[in-house]
């Protein structure tokens, strides 16, 4: 039986705890080097089409689509093994495991991710993140729409959500309100995109790197939330 916690910490994976942009770069480089520029372009075209259709990144699905175009190329299977055996532990951001250990002194920590049902859990396990949260891993198609299920599996009176996508933090803040403290690590292409990150009104804490959270204690996290709530409640200042 899962007992309600006073506070629970929810961490995104890609570009929050590990450098997924670097993984994509490595995949693209391997595709180009071994199979050629056309293969690389074809794979990523399938990848983006599937993301639009499914709502999440499907690396193995894109490979399967590419295989249908190249049914007589056995080298594709070596790429499948390369994907499944990729050393994601080498792509953890500095301090990621220390941050998970740091916050667990105050409450449980869980992974809250989007993704498919095969490659995403494999990535989390290969990176060492699965064991770091004792298997408390939740993976959805659209996690911001599954908050009721998050509360069912990991009940808490308050949540701290760490995610590199401002749109996710905004959606969760809208749903949970004062029940959540939102933390925005400025890592990865989404976080550094000026359009994607143009409105930070739903962000309670912004840090340059995930390891910066080691500088926060529980009081600092709580005070950041209170400051954000107070600021939101204050009437706008009239111009003199």
End-to-end CA distance of the chain: 58
Structure-derived torsion over alpha carbons of residues 25, 28, 32, 33, reported in degrees to the nearest 10: 50
Q: Which helix (H) or strand (E) holds 170?
A: helix 166-176
13, 138 Cβ separation under 8 angstroms: no
The domain locations on the chain are 8-18+93-233, 20-88
Confidence at residue 72, expressed as pLDDT on a 0 to 100 scale: 75
Domain 8-18+93-233 has CATH 3.40.50.1000: yes
232 SS3 class: helix
Report whether 44 contacts 30 (CB < 8 A): no
Model pLDDT, residue 235: 46
Q: Report the topology of domain 20-88.
A: GTP Cyclohydrolase I; Chain A, domain 1 (1.10.286)
At 240 the pLDDT is 39
Phi then psi dihedrals of residue 127, to 5 deg: -80, -10
Q: What is the pLDDT of residue 80?
A: 92
**How high is the mean pLDDT in each 10-residue block of the chain (240 residues)?**
82 98 97 92 96 95 91 83 96 98 97 96 98 98 97 96 97 96 94 90 95 94 61 43
């Amino acid at each position: 039986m899962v007992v309600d916690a006073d506070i629970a910490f929810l961490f995104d994976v890609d570009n929050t705890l590990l450098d997924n942009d670097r993984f994509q770069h490595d995949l693209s480089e391997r595709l180009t080097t071994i199979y050629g520029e056309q293969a690389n372009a074809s794979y990523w075209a399938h990848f983006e089409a599937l993301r639009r259709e499914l709502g999440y990144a499907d690396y193995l699905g894109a490979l399967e689509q590419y295989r249908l175009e190249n049914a007589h190329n056995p080298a594709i299977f070596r790429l499948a093994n390369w994907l499944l055996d990729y050393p994601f532990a080498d792509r953890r951001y500095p301090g990621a495991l220390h941050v998970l250990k740091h916050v667990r002194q105050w409450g449980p920590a869980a992974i809250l991710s989007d993704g498919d049902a095969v490659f995403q859990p494999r990535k989390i396990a290969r990176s060492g993140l699965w064991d770091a949260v004792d298997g408390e891993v939740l993976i959805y198609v659209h996690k911001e729409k599954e908050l009721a299920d998050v509360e069912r599996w990991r009940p808490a009176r308050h949540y701290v959500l760490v995610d590199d996508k401002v749109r996710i933090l905004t959606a969760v803040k809208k749903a949970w309100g004062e029940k959540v403290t939102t933390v925005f690590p400025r890592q990865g292409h989404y976080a550094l995109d000026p359009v994607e990150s143009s409105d930070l009104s739903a962000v309670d804490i912004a840090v340059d790197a995930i390891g910066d959270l080691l500088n926060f204690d529980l009081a600092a996290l709580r005070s950041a939330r209170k400051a954000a709530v107070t600021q939101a409640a204050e009437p706008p200042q009239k111009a003199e």
